[in-house]
Structure 1
Amino acid sequence: MIAIIDYGMGNLHSVSKAVERLGHAYAFVSDGDKLMKAEGAILPGVGAFGDAMDNLRERGLIEPIKRYAASGKPLLGICLGMQILFESSNEHGDHTGLGLLPGHVKRFTGDYKIPHMGWNRLEFLRDENPIFNQVNEGYVYFVHSYFLQPGGENRDILLATTDYYQTVPAIVGRNNVYGMQFHPEKSGSVGMKLLENFANLCETALI
């Protein structure tokens, strides 16, 4: 079973329907004990970084998510869910994230349209990663005003990037923790195949 973490800020319907279409069992989870029983977990997110962390804190989910990640079972953050995997963000003030991956989230700045919204092409950096099994580079759907800056010493976490007036991290990962800045569930065949590969990793995870 894949746990879709419900903390009041995720697009639960579209994510759950995508997992269902792939033929995998799922459950909405807002309890730490139930989370630990799952073979894999998805942390969706829509909205602001600070609000997301406040909601996780109010529901007592911060430490359970950290324990879950430490268990070695697959965890996937989507959109805002990816951003809060990192150390901090300057969205509407300075906020501390889950710290499961190294890096900081900052706002796009420049004379171009913000938010970054629409279809952009992925460029795979580490296509040997199992998340890319039988996936061709293609276009996926982004909606975000903030993006990850991993820092030079941590660029090994970058699995795929896209270009939006600069290089933008699109897929990140280290060990069992993954993040996708775009919405795979809204990204056609490329996104669905990436999501399927993550679900397959969940099936083979040690329980």
Structure 2
Amino acid sequence: MTPEVVVLDYGSGNVRSVVRAVERAGATVTLTGDFDTALAADGLVVPGVGAYAACMQGLRAIKGERIVGRRLAGGRPVLGICVGMQVLFAGGVEHGVETDGCDEWPGLVTRLQADVVPHMGWNTVEVPSDSRLFAGVAGERFYFVHSYAARTWDLATNDRTAAPLVTWSEHGGDRFVAAVENGPLTATQFHPEKSGDAGAELLRNWVASLPR
């Protein structure tokens, strides 16, 4: 059966390219901010462009943080993209102002410490050897557009649960989290929908992992 995926519509920019990319990856896609529809889908994609605070405001307007939390509590897959990944952390700091995030992971999203910001264009990533998300594309480049990122990884599992798989990248000598695979919660700082064949394969990997 074809998995049903919701791309969460909360006013975050043009998400049609995300919808089309996930459809091409093999899913039936609905673009909606409806609470019950997003909760019931086989997979949920949380896109995001622009400012952290604005994205969180939009998410809260449709109870998006509750949708994400309830899905994860039930082991139901969520994929965050770009700022949709950043808001999964405890908070973000922009222009000296800290905004609370969804707090699925500890740590703050902060401005990249590089001579040239934003980080815009194609870049390689450092992928853990047992990644399923990057199967077949671990050596490829992906498309980034961002000025902020999670520059540390602060989640400690103390061997009680499986440690998340964290993929890293670097821009201007500053290392940052490029992707995370954490049980049902997956996220990428780059845009797979803008990353050509490599991004398409990564989305196919995610869609293939969804429960039917």
- What residue in structure 1 maps to residue 137 of structure 2? 135
Q: Distance in 2 between matches of 1:69 and 1:172?
A: 15
Residue pair 1:141, 1:182 contacting (<8 A) in 2 also: yes
2:168 aligned with 1:161? yes
Residue pair 2:125, 2:138 contacting (<8 A) in 1 also: no
Name the TM-score, length of structure 2 as normaliser: 0.89
- What residue in structure 1 maps to residue 196 of structure 2? 188
Would the alpha carbon gap of residues 23 and 150 (structure 1) be closer, same or farther in structure 2, given more than 3 Å must change? same
Please state how far the C-alpha of 1:10 moved relative to its aligned partner.
Answer: 4.2
Q: Map of 1:164-175 to 2, 5 A cutoff?
A: 164=171, 165-175=173-183
Please state how far the C-alpha of 1:154 moved relative to its aligned partner.
Answer: 4.2
Q: Distance in 1 between matches of 2:25 and 2:155?
A: 36
- What residue in structure 2 maps to residue 47 of structure 1? 50
- What residue in structure 2 maps to residue 70 of structure 1? 73
Q: Distance in 2 between matches of 1:102 and 1:170?
A: 16
- What residue in structure 2 maps to residue 58 of structure 1? 61
2:102 aligned with 1:95? no
Q: Distance in 2 between matches of 1:191 and 1:28?
A: 20
Would the alpha carbon gap of residues 65 and 153 (structure 1) be closer, same or farther in structure 2, given more than 3 Å must change? closer
Q: Secondary structure at the match of 1:123?
A: coil
Q: Distance in 2 between matches of 1:22 and 1:61?
A: 24
Higher helix proportion = 1
Please state how far the C-alpha of 1:129 moved relative to its aligned partner.
Answer: 2.7
Residue pair 1:35, 1:41 contacting (<8 A) in 2 also: yes
Higher strand proportion = 2
Q: Distance in 2 between matches of 1:104 and 1:158?
A: 18
2:114 aligned with 1:107? no
The count of corresponding residues between Structure 1 and Structure 2 is 202
Residue pair 2:169, 2:178 contacting (<8 A) in 1 also: yes
Residue pair 1:78, 1:181 contacting (<8 A) in 2 also: yes
Please state how far the C-alpha of 1:151 moved relative to its aligned partner.
Answer: 4.0
Would the alpha carbon gap of residues 116 and 52 (structure 1) be closer, same or farther in structure 2, given more than 3 Å must change? same
Name the TM-score, length of structure 1 as normaliser: 0.91
What amino acid is the match of 1:175? G
Please state how far the C-alpha of 1:24 moved relative to its aligned partner.
Answer: 1.5
Q: Secondary structure at the match of 1:47?
A: coil
Q: Distance in 2 between matches of 1:157 and 1:146?
A: 21
Unaligned runs of 5+ in 2: 158-162
Residue pair 1:101, 1:174 contacting (<8 A) in 2 also: no
Residue pair 1:102, 1:150 contacting (<8 A) in 2 also: no
- What residue in structure 1 maps to residue 160 of structure 2? none
- What residue in structure 1 maps to residue 37 of structure 2? 34
Please state how far the C-alpha of 1:127 moved relative to its aligned partner.
Answer: 2.8
Runs of 4+ aligned residues of structure 1 deviating over 3 Å after TM superposition are: 150-158
- What residue in structure 1 maps to residue 122 of structure 2? 119
Q: Distance in 2 between matches of 1:4 and 1:115?
A: 26
Would the alpha carbon gap of residues 33 and 152 (structure 1) be closer, same or farther in structure 2, given more than 3 Å must change? closer
Would the alpha carbon gap of residues 18 and 26 (structure 1) be closer, same or farther in structure 2, given more than 3 Å must change? same
Q: Distance in 1 between matches of 2:34 and 2:180?
A: 26
Q: Distance in 1 between matches of 2:202 and 2:208?
A: 10
